[in-house]
Amino acid sequence: MATDWSDNIIVCDLADEPSLSEELNGLLARLEQNGDTRHSSVVVNMADVTYLNSSNIAQLLRAQGSERSRRASEDRRHATPCGRS
């Protein structure tokens, strides 16, 4: 679930399917709701993910795209995947 780590950072801890798709959809919805302009960074913890399918990759790219489009108004925003191997 995506949680507020601080006033301007969202942390999303991911696990394998079936919750992976649901968590990514929740993150996308949160990023797109009202532009969510108060958060400047998103950390996606993928340490517990063992497999990504093409739909999951597309969701991650959409999340990054949401970050990039929001970043047009504020250059310091960024998304950071972590726990990859």
Average pLDDT of the residues in 11-27? 90
pLDDT in tens, 44-53: 888 999 999 9
Assigned CATH topology for domain 2-82: Transcription Regulator spoIIAA (3.30.750)
Pairing type for strands 41-48 and 2-6 reads unpaired
Helix (H) or strand (E) holding 45, with range, is strand 41-48
What does the DSSP 8-state code read for residue 33? G
For residue range 45-83, what is the model confidence (pLDDT) as tens digits? 889 999 999 999 998 888 777 655 555 555 455 566 666
Predicted confidence band of residue 22 (pLDDT cuts 50, 70, 90): very high
How would residue 85 be classed by pLDDT, with cut points 50, 70 and 90?
low
